[in-house]
Amino acid sequence: KNVPTSFPKDFLWGGATAANQIEGAWNIDGKGLTTAEVVKKAENHHTLTMNDVTKKSLQEAIDDKTDVNYPKRRGVDFYHHYKEDIAMLAEMGFKAFRLSIAWARIFPKGDETQPNEKGLEFYDRVFEECHKHGIEPVVTISHYEMPLNLTLKQNGWASRETISEFTKYTRVLFNRYKEIVKYWMTFNEINAIQGGFTGTGALDSQLSVSEKAQVRFQALHHQFVASALAVEQCHKIDPQAKIGCMLARMQTYAKTSDPKDVRAAQFQDQLNLFYTDVQVRGEYPEYMNRYFKENNVELKMVEGDEAILKQGKVDYLAFSYYMSNVTSAKQDVEKFSDTFIAGESNPYLETSDWGWQIDPVGLRVSLNEFWDRYRVPLFVVENGLGAVDELTHDGKVHDQYRIDYLRKHVIQMKEAIKDGVDLIGYTTWGPIDLISASTSEMSKRYGFIYVDQDDSGNGSLKRIRKDSFFWYKQVIASNGDKL
Ligand code: BG6
């Protein structure tokens, strides 16, 4: 077999976003309130997520009809700027644009029988605009949010009933966007349930850590089943379309060559690969049995669930990659922990301003590991550097640090392709500045395009091309040769 020397001709270069971080228009055209929109903005780079929402803060959020303290309600107003934004992505030569659909635009409360036509029409227009520019939409069905009503009514994914609400929603999407959307993904970073990010929609902040483990893994099981059912639906309704899973890859290394550290790191890695083991191979891996038992997690499965998982194996594996971690035996990885990004520091790596350890070579390591393990096409659907950018008085942003970060990762992807890995695309996170998922800050920017808005929501929303815009344009034009 010929050894590839670079990116394939039809490589999907582009960028990735999520509805609750970009769209705004939170209460327009019939949209319902979502779980992302009740999470308050954090201060000083701290993380605030659904994990921190209490009954009291939830009620305050519901009573508050403004977006002042809830930046995900305003995003960067993509809802009204999508034409201009997509045109700018096209100017960079984008082949693919990853975005998510806000479930609560389609089913505002989640439990209606009929979808909200106005919500569907918005995505009709967005996809049309993408195709006009020759850009392939890559669509996440659920990105860290759901109709808040499903949390209030049945504690989100903790309830099995949510599976049928979800399959009702996905059926509408596959029928409506048949032959329009060719790449789907079910749940964004499905493994973030571990850190209680915003994925499960279950209110569990006041539970003990071990009670959390029970709620989250049960909720996860419901998501696995729902995802597998969606894969089956998609294959039936639109056999040409491809549907994948999405994992937050947490590459980890043993702190030393002490076999105890190596074993801890091995298990930490398995804990990360558990999710793709289920979604790509179609069954729970044995190593989780012991973990569940020792953490007193009892999964309730219904007859037929195992067959559903087998039947609903994904077509490709998509993942986000920002950093790597270090594991030592000290960490007691066999015990459930509700912090997502744990681990120790790596003396060989630099960190971002938010403490994320930057590791381009780790991307090559992960790509090889995925390919060896699964033999399905891989798609890097998030990667990037969150940084504070400075707008100069002449309206420029000199973000050389971002160019350096991305360049190093592109080089490692190319190496992985030469290693024989089947990599189909690369969509960098937040090609246009948007609201941070973990902190709701605007000042944690990832984009090639600067958006004039501050953490409090002040600004003209004007879009400005950063230096990295022109760099990425040339990368795409040369199919990854000019870096
Ligand atoms: C991923 C998420 O975790 O990382 C995105 O899928 C998120 O939604 C991105 O925005 C970067 O994280 P943050 O917290 O810097 O926005």
**Domain map (residue ranges) of the chain:** 12-477
Q: What is the pLDDT of residue 116?
A: 98
- Between 50-64, 133-147, 281-295, 354-368, the lowest mean confidence (pLDDT) is in 50-64
- Ligand 1 pocket, mutate which of 17, 191, 198, 320 (most atoms under 8 A from CB): 320
- Measured CA to CA, the distance from residue 272 to residue 333 in angstroms comes to 11
Q: Are 106 and 119 in contact (CB under 8 A)?
A: yes
Query: SS3 for 142?
Result: strand
Q: Ligand 1: list residues with CB < 6 Å.
A: 18, 21, 144, 188-189, 248, 320, 382, 386, 429, 436-439, 444
Percentage of the chain modeled with pLDDT above 70:
98
**Among 23, 136, 189, 382, the one annotated catalytic:** 382
Digit-coded pLDDT (tens) for 381-394: 999 999 999 999 99
CA of 152 to the centre of ligand 1 (A): 25
Q: What is the pLDDT of residue 195?
A: 66
- Ligand 1 pocket, mutate which of 190, 433, 436, 444 (most atoms under 8 A from CB): 436
CA of 134 to the centre of ligand 1 (A): 26
Which ligand 1 atom is the nearest neighbour of the CA of 386? 15
pLDDT band at residue 197 under the 50/70/90 scheme: low
- Between 36-50, 297-311, 322-336, 397-411, the lowest mean confidence (pLDDT) is in 36-50
Digit-coded pLDDT (tens) for 101-120: 999 999 999 999 999 999 99
Q: Where are the beta strands (DSSP E) in 177-288?
A: 183-187, 242-248, 251-254
Tokens 């990037």 -> residue: 384
pLDDT band at residue 52 under the 50/70/90 scheme: confident
Digit-coded pLDDT (tens) for 123-167: 999 999 999 999 999 999 999 999 999 999 999 999 999 999 999
CB atoms within 10 A of CB 56: 8
CA of 315 to the centre of ligand 1 (A): 24
Using a 10 angstrom Cβ sphere, with 0-12 exposed, 13-18 middle and 19 or more buried, the burial of residue 113 is: exposed
CA of 67 to the centre of ligand 1 (A): 20
Q: What is the DSSP letter of 116?
A: -
CB atoms within 10 A of CB 298: 9
Residues whose CB is less than 8 angstroms from the CB of residue 441 and which lie 6 or more positions away in sequence, other chains included:
41, 42, 45, 71, 435, 455
Digit-coded pLDDT (tens) for 437-448: 999 999 999 999
b/e for 435-449, b at 16 or more Cβ within 10 A? bbbbbbbbbbbbbbb
b/e for 128-137, b at 16 or more Cβ within 10 A? ebbeeeebbb
pLDDT band at residue 342 under the 50/70/90 scheme: low
- Compute φ and ψ for 331, nearest 5 degrees: -75, -10
Residues whose CB is less than 8 angstroms from the CB of residue 362 and which lie 6 or more positions away in sequence, other chains included:
251, 321, 323, 324
**Residue 423: which H helix or E strand, with range?**
strand 423-429
Which ligand 1 atom is the nearest neighbour of the CA of 436? 16
pLDDT at 428 over 70: yes
CA of 429 to the centre of ligand 1 (A): 8
**Token pair in block for residue 346:** 């790596």
- Measured CA to CA, the distance from residue 108 to residue 31 in angstroms comes to 5
pLDDT band at residue 341 under the 50/70/90 scheme: low
pTM for the model stands at 0.97
Beta-sheet pairing, 12-16 with 96-100: parallel
CB atoms within 10 A of CB 476: 18
Give me the CATH code for the 12-477 domain, please.
Answer: 3.20.20.80
Which ligand 1 atom is the nearest neighbour of the CA of 322? 4
Q: What is the pLDDT of residue 337?
A: 85
Average pLDDT over residues 241-257: 97
Tokens 């024989």 -> residue: 420
- Ligand 1 pocket, mutate which of 429, 433, 434 (most atoms under 8 A from CB): 429
Which ligand 1 atom is the nearest neighbour of the CA of 384? 11
Nearest CA to ligand 1 atom 9: 437
Residue 382 annotated among the catalytic residues of the structure: yes
Beta-sheet pairing, 449-451 with 463-465: antiparallel
Digit-coded pLDDT (tens) for 166-192: 999 999 999 999 999 999 999 999 998
pLDDT at 194 over 80: no
CA 127, 129, 135, 137: dihedral to nearest 10 degrees? -20
